[in-house]
Amino acid sequence: MKISICLAIRNGEKYMIYLEKLFYDIGNSYKNYNFEFFIYENNSIDQTKEAIESFAIGRNCRYLLEDIENNNMKEGINMERGKHMATIRNKLKEFHGKLDSDYVLLFDCDVVFLPNTIEKLIQTINDETVMASCFCICWDVYSNNDKSIHYYDSFALISNDNISYKENDNRCLFKSCKICTSHRKHMNINIEDKFLFDDNNVVYVKSCFGSLSLIKTDVYNNVNWDDSICEHHSFCEKVNNYGKIVINPKIKIFTTIPRLNDYHDIQKELEKIA
């Protein structure tokens, strides 16, 4: 089975070292996986470029390394950031061209996952479902709020009932998240229980990313990212023309941030709860 790995990264020197070990473990456990890697990087101020070059040795790996002038991306929710991210993702897609793999795994340099995560995502995809993502736990919230489980990527998510970050004040829709339930109550945001997500069942959505998603390659080849406030909204709108998009809450991963880069320790904690 051929799987294309598409990674966008910046200031991820330690993350590349983490991936080296992770994909070594995956390769040992899943001999039938044939990986190809496509990596895009720009403007890192650490040794990310060198780490990518080292990672590529002995692997089927191509990479695009850039230093872009005036590369100041706005933080937060705004159209400028959405356009910038769409440009980056499309640039990597144009760089590698049409793929002949079975699946494409999309993720960024803030995700900690387990060797069996890819297998579980493949099992989630079926004749109807063409794209699947995980339950991405926010490590920052988890580590600072008594191990509270909070779904990280609410910005990219649009439910089948058209509830997005706008209606939900950029909070997650999982019933189990006490932090977001408390926030909605405090802000007087009323979302009926029937519109919230169950942790025990696959959730069908109009849009999601969840920091890591698997998509059928024949679908990926025919879609791209457009200018939208979250680049994944436009991407998923096109994916929906080919089949369903789901979140599998039983597949847990951690989403961290660059300053929280003790990835091996975070993975050990994920092993305990996954």
- The single-letter code of the amino acid at 267 is Q
How much is the pLDDT for 73? 61
How much is the pLDDT for 74? 61
Largest CA distance in the chain: 55
CA distance 180 to 178: 6
Other beta carbons less than 10 A from residue 186's beta carbon: 8
User: Which residues sit opposite 61 in a β-bridge?
Assistant: 37
How much is the pLDDT for 92? 97
DSSP state string for 215-260:
EEHHHHTT----S-SSHHHHHHHHHTTTSEEEEEEEEEEEE--TT-
CA distance 271 to 115: 10
How much is the pLDDT for 20? 96
Compute the radius of gyration of the chain from its Cα atoms.
18
Domain 2-273, CATH class in plain words = alpha beta
Domain ranges of the chain: 2-273
How much is the pLDDT for 175? 95
Give, to the nearest 10 degrees, the angle between helix 263-273 and helix 13-29.
40
Report, as ranges of residue numbers, the positions in the chain whose pLDDT lies below 50. none
For 183, list phi and psi in degrees, rounded to 5: -65, -45
Structure tokens at 67: 């230093």
CA distance 10 to 180: 30
CA distance 195 to 250: 19
